[in-house]
């Protein structure tokens, strides 16, 4: 018995759920779960179904494509562990949380390597038996360093996602283009507020009563990619910005791991710099 995740986005029209369900029924496929959403402002239909039965993946996709509008996007995915690479700098809290969850088999992922521009976290990663690669940026221009990183990543085949677990370097459009909608970042702020460096100090200076963390896909606009997950923590006047920073780290690691899990389970649709999450 095979299981498939069916992901559909298309222009909305009457009867789409019926048509897709009929394909499932006619091919003796059992629907294990199903979610739909219609973006009425853009007339877009989104659907995620999990089915099981006996049918070839390519055949199922073709049958669905045939009954949908011509511009529909259809993915039929057989659930399996996805390949990810984690990129870090010096902070360990987000990386450590991912490594522990991976060790506990909570993530449907193979961590191929951890790549960093410093070697401070090598001993931590070594405890989990995962390759650690240092590509120093010292005495290199941004383009030179990034080219070396891309060259390193190209050695790994079938990379599904790049996870920036507090990787503190801005990626250029060249890098983003190679891994479009495949780079997941954690930002230590409740975006779109307080983008850029030291958002906790910015939040403190503004006198906010909540702080948070945001995980998002990376695009060519700093900290403005499609948002995947967010979390907030209440603070008050007694918090210094460093108190906020310490509390925020808890939110950061939880939000990043949650976003990774959503991606690994094929629950994210990206449309118009926003996400639909099932």
Phi, psi of 59 (to 5 degrees): -65, -45
pLDDT of residue 48: 98
For 29-53, b where at least 16 C-beta lie within 10 A, e where not — what string?
A: beeeebeeeebeeeebbbbbbbbee
Higher pLDDT, 209 or 168: 168
pLDDT tier for residue 244 given thresholds of 50, 70 and 90:
confident
Give the predicted TM-score (pTM) of the model: 0.91
Residue 223 is a catalytic residue:
yes
Of the given ranges (72-76, 188-192, 196-200, 203-207), which has the lowest mean pLDDT?
188-192
Average pLDDT on 141-153 reads 96
pLDDT tier for residue 249 given thresholds of 50, 70 and 90:
confident
- Catalytic-labelled residue, pool 9, 97, 223, 266: 223
pLDDT of residue 197: 65
Domain chopping of the chain, boundaries: 2-77, 82-277
- What's the number of CA atoms in the CB half-sphere (13 Å) around residue 117? 22
**How is the beta sheet containing 132-134 ordered, strand by strand?**
132-134, 109-116, 82-88, 161-164, 183-187, 210-217, 227-234
Percent of the chain with pLDDT over 70: 96
State both tokens at 265: 């389970």
Rounded Cα distance, 120 and 105, in Å: 25
pLDDT tier for residue 190 given thresholds of 50, 70 and 90:
low
**Domain 2-77, architecture per CATH:** 2-Layer Sandwich (3.30)
Determine what percent of the chain falls in helix, strand and coil, rounding each to the nearest 5.
30, 30, 40
Phi, psi of 169 (to 5 degrees): -130, 140
pLDDT of residue 188: 76
pLDDT of residue 93: 94
Q: Are strands 2-11 and 210-217 parallel, antiparallel or unpaired?
A: unpaired
pLDDT of residue 195: 67
Higher pLDDT, 7 or 244: 7
Residue 42 has pLDDT above 90, yes or no: yes
**CATH assignment of 82-277, given 3.40.640.10, 2.30.30.230, 3.40.50.170, 3.40.630.150?**
3.40.50.170
First to last CA, the chain: 24
pLDDT of residue 162: 98
């Amino acid at each position: 018995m095979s299981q498939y995740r069916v992901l559909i986005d298309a222009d909305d029209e009457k009867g789409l759920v019926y048509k897709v369900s009929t394909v499932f029924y006619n091919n003796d496929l059992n629907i294990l779960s199903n979610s739909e959403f219609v973006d009425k402002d853009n007339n877009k239909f989104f659907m995620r179904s999990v089915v099981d039965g006996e049918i070839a993946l390519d055949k199922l996709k073709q049958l669905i494509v045939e009954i949908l509008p011509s511009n529909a996007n259809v993915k039929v995915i057989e659930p399996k562990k996805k390949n990810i690479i984690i990129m870090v700098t010096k902070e360990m809290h987000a990386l450590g949380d991912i490594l522990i969850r991976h060790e506990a088999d909570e993530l449907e992922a193979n961590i191929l390597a951890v790549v960093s521009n410093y070697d401070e976290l090598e001993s931590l990663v070594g405890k989990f038996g995962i390759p650690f690669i240092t590509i120093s940026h010292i005495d290199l221009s941004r383009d030179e360093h990034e080219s070396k990183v891309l060259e390193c990543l190209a050695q790994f085949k079938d990379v599904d996602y790049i996870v920036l677990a507090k990787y503190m370097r801005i990626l250029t459009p060249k890098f983003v283009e190679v891994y479009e909608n495949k780079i997941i970042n954690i930002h230590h702020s409740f975006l779109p507020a307080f983008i850029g460096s030291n958002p906790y100090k910015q939040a403190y200076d503004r006198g906010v009563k909540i702080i948070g963390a945001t995980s998002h896909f990376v695009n060519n606009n700093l900290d403005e990619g499609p948002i995947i997950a967010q979390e907030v923590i209440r603070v008050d006047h007694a918090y210094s910005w460093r108190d906020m920073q310490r509390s925020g780290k808890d939110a950061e690691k939880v939000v990043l791991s949650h976003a990774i899990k959503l991606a690994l389970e094929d629950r994210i649709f990206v449309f118009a710099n926003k996400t639909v999450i099932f």
